[in-house]
Chain A
Amino acid sequence: MARVLLMQGNQAVVEGAIAAGVRFYGGYPITPSTEIAEGMAKRLPQVGGKFMQTEDEIAGIAAVTGASLGGVIAMTATSGPGFSLKQEMLGFACSAEIPCLVVDVQRVGPSTGQPTSPSQGDVMQTRWGTHGDHWIIALSPASVPECFDLTRRAVALSETYRCPVILLMDEVVGHLRERIDLPDNYDDLPVVRRKVPAGAPEDYLAYQAKDGSLVAPMAPFGSGYRWHVTGLVHDETGFPKGTPAATVAQQDRLRKKLTDHLDDIVTVEEYRLDDAELAIVAFGGAARTAYDAIDLARAKGIRAGLFRPVTIWPFAEKEIRALAAKVRGILVHELNCGQYVREVERAVQGRVPVLAYSKYDNESATPEDLLAEIENAMKGGAGK
């Protein structure tokens, strides 16, 4: 049986989290993500989980990492200012390989910016927010049903690759209400959980993957496998080791455990792209404008299509290169001053013109706005 519901994106994240097996939430209220905290406060104890409103943003993600060390699937949600505050803990989770889900419902920044207005200005903060070289997964939903699906997907990736995963939402999608079909209960939906060790505790090394993958099993604290967690550079034993070789080994493994699995991690959606001359690249709330704008363009005889990265990080490099090989121009539309477009330009390497429609005026583009940009692009380099 399914329930047909009218639901907000933030609420769909809550339901997706419950379905994904999230049983701990620690976080701090912040617009436009607060409905996620409110929803988790209500839903978690119903399923035996626990919710905490922490004293600040940092404590939220800190408690999440602690709960995750205890073997519980855990998450937090925030928006730009809070996301900034969480960055140091995110780096700790990357280094110590502690799975957790962090939802960032983006708003206009910097600083307080416009709390209730849409923006996609955290694209690069998501990638490079914490200090030091590191690798991260970020997914961006464009609809309410996708908020449910990608929350589950984000948790699954986090548990599979033993790393933090960012669900990079924006105010458009977070506060959007639309139809969603949900199962009556989530018992039939698979829950992906981290590998746990099976051998003798004395043989367990918390950062040694014996199965050929680069992801070691992670024993919950209290399960009989005593191990040590540190944010210092460490070797497979988990204890600090600051040698050049250990430093390189850790960095390489943290990178390769993701980059060796790009086919699993990176997903994109295409819309009317098969015969397109002009590809619109857009994600999240900005992509919603693109569907209609492309239909309008098609009605005018312009062969435009949408390339929508669902995985924002790691960057869909291979897919963008393939796109550049088959279209005559690319127009990147994002709700910021131009962040994702820089990556697109880097990957395209000048093979086709890459244009930007950057909108940063607190409002989403209308399909007509984007249509005008498409028409301009066709008049310029992209249509020749």
Chain B
Amino acid sequence: MKEALVEKYFRPGRLPHIWCPGCGNGIVTAAMVQAIDREGLAKDDVALISGIGCSSRVSGYLDFNTANTVHGRALAIATGLKMARPSLTVLVASGDGDCSAIGGNHLIHAARRNIDLTLIVFNNNIYGMTGGQYSPLTPQGSRATTAPYQTIEPAFDITALARAAGATFTARATTYHTPLLTDLIAKAIRHKGFSIVEAVTACPTNYGRQNKMGNPGQMMEWQKDHAVMKAKWDTMTEDERAGKFPIGLLSERTDAVEYTAAYDEIIRRAQA
């Protein structure tokens, strides 16, 4: 990220951030900033709501209307804010545990309603803030402090979950694929309706170490080696797909009415 963007979008005196050496959260944050800058949004017109966890600290760094709220509830709080102020561009930053475990119910219902929020899932496959417990997005067979022998639970594909629940824009990128991540977040912001961008990000301290993933650079190499662009993914056999995951724009629909617009119609009816 260019220094001018740091100067423009970060609150003075709040850096360095709290994230560990090699944590990808700073890269995801940079992608968000670059996407917002590319879309030409005024800082006053952007709200960023986060839950609780490492990634949710992002709201404190950026100079928007921001809230670091309650574990799992960011989407529900953002929903109320969007209803109150539909003209705001409302982004939600949430970790994999925050939005797929304790906040999972809010995720599927925000997606179902197709409310115009952009959810950035910082997926580092682990609860980092509390020291490395497994989340619903921890790959099956991984080690975690609460799975010292290995996890036996299958992981969600959170974009597929959101898509099945009604999300009209789903996408995934990694911190290695930074320009793609920026591009997808920009597109998600532009999308009118519920959008989710899963950002695959490394947690060297609490996931990498337990799972012998190597140093931060090596963890990003893993992202490069296991991510496959959607167009290629679509041509691959099941065997070829094993152990890999698609990145890019995974789905986009424009046929569903956005929630706040639908409610405006309810107001017209009630007042008729």
A228 within 8 A of B: yes
Question: Smallest CB-CB separation from B70: which chain A residue?
Answer: A92
Interface contact B105-A240, CB-CB below 8 Å: no
Question: Does A26 lie within 8 Å of B59, measured CB to CB?
Answer: no
Asked if B43 is at the interface of the complex by the 8 Å CB criterion, the answer is yes
B interface residues, tally (CB under 8 Å):
40
Least CB separation from A89: chain B residue: B70
Q: Which residue of A lies closest to B87 (CB)?
A: A222
Contact across chains for B85 and A229 when beta carbons are under 8 A apart = no
Which chain B residues border A96 with CB–CB below 8 Å? 67
Chain A contact residues: helix, strand, loop or mixed? mixed
**Given A24-B80, A45-B269, A59-B79, is A226 in contact with B63 using a C-beta cutoff of 8 Å?**
yes
Say yes or no: B59 contacts A222, CB within 8 Å.
no
In contact, B105 and A66 (Cβ under 8 angstroms) = no
Cβ-closest chain A residue relative to B77 = A66
Contact in complex: B70, A48 (CB < 8 Å): no
Task: Tell me the number of A-to-B contacts counted with CB atoms below 8 Å.
Answer: 142
A228-B68 CB under 8 A given contacts A45-B270, A72-B84? yes
Contact with B along A55-92 (1 / 0, CB 8 A): 11011001111111111101000000000000011001
Say whether A239 faces chain B, with CB atoms less than 8 Å apart.
Answer: yes
| Stretch touching chain A among B44-52, B120-128, B152-160, B238-246 | B44-52
Taking the closest CB of chain A, its distance from the CB of B230, in whole angstroms, is: 30
Given contact pairs A46-B270, A230-B67, A232-B68, A71 touches B84 in the complex (Cβ within 8 A) = yes
A50 CB-CB contact with B under 8 Å: yes
Q: Let me know if A69 and B105 touch, CB within 8 A.
A: no
- Is A128 in contact with chain B by the CB < 8 A criterion? no
Bound-state CA distance A66–B50 (Å) is 12
Contact of B80 among A70, A230, A240 (CB under 8 A): A70
Q: Which of A190-222 contact B (CB under 8 A)?
A: 220-222
Q: How large is the interface on A (under 10, 10 to 19, 20 to 34, 35 or more residues)?
A: 35 or more
Contact A54 B76 (CB under 8 A): yes
Any A CB within 8 A of the CB of B143: no
CA distance A199 to B93 in the complex (A): 30
**In the assembled complex, B4 has its CB within 8 A of some CB on chain A:** no
Q: How far is the CA of A239 from the CA of B271 in the complex (A)?
A: 42
List, in ascending order, chain B residues with CB within 8 A of A50's CB: 83-84, 263, 267
Chain B residues at the A interface, C-beta cutoff of 8 Å:
11, 14, 43-45, 47, 49, 59-60, 63-70, 73, 76-85, 87-88, 105-106, 108-109, 263, 266-267, 269-271
Provide 21 A-B residue pairs closer than 8 Å at the C-beta atoms, listed in order of the A residue: A45-B266, A45-B270, A48-B267, A50-B84, A50-B267, A62-B76, A63-B77, A63-B79, A65-B77, A66-B49, A69-B65, A69-B80, A70-B80, A70-B83, A221-B88, A222-B85, A226-B65, A228-B66, A229-B66, A230-B67, A231-B70
17 more A-B contacts (CB under 8 A) besides A70-B84, A72-B84, A74-B84? A24-B84, A56-B105, A58-B73, A62-B76, A66-B76, A67-B80, A69-B81, A69-B84, A70-B80, A70-B81, A70-B83, A89-B70, A222-B65, A222-B85, A226-B66, A230-B60, A230-B68
